Amino acid sequence: MARLLVDGMNVIGSRPTGWWRDRRGAMCELVSELDRYARESGDEVAVVFDGRPFELDAELVDVAFASRRGRDAADDDIAARANSEVTVVTSDSRLAERARGTGARVVGAGAFRRRLES
């Protein structure tokens, strides 16, 4: 069983689906996909989003919103939660470097998105 810590907006933005027209809808869709992934894989999954918090229906996924607003807000929270027992899912090179500094493994958002879709 793996412990995944997902940079939510980075994964959402990894493919040009028009998500920017319905940011909330994209977040809901990702949480649903992560729930399915957690159920099928047995992995422990947490996701952190930027933006104003709202209720997201998640069964297995730990959903969090950045503790503050502004640049790199979610990244800072993800970096604070990263450790050697976690795999951080992001393609943000600065966040990846910070996560690796804590001993965390890093998987790119595109590679993880392909895993979600298979």
- Per-residue tokens: 63: 């959903």
Q: What is the largest CA-CA distance in the chain?
A: 36
Average pLDDT, rounded, for the chain: 94
What is the spatial distance between Cα 99 and Cα 81, in angstroms, rounded to a whole number?
9
Mean pLDDT across the stretch 62-68?
96
- CATH code where residue 108 lies: 3.40.50
Domain extent for 105: 3-117
The domain total for the chain is: 1
Which tens digit of pLDDT belongs to each residue from 78-105?
A: 999 999 999 999 999 999 999 999 999 9
Tokens describing residue 34: 């992560």
Q: How confident is the model at residue 85, as a pLDDT?
A: 96
- Least Cα distance to 12 among 1, 24, 4 occurs for 24
How many CA atoms lie within 13 Å of 72's alpha carbon, on the beta-carbon side? 9
Question: Is residue 30 predicted with pLDDT exceeding 90?
Answer: yes
Residue range 65-69: mean pLDDT, rounded: 94
Whole-model pTM: value is 0.93
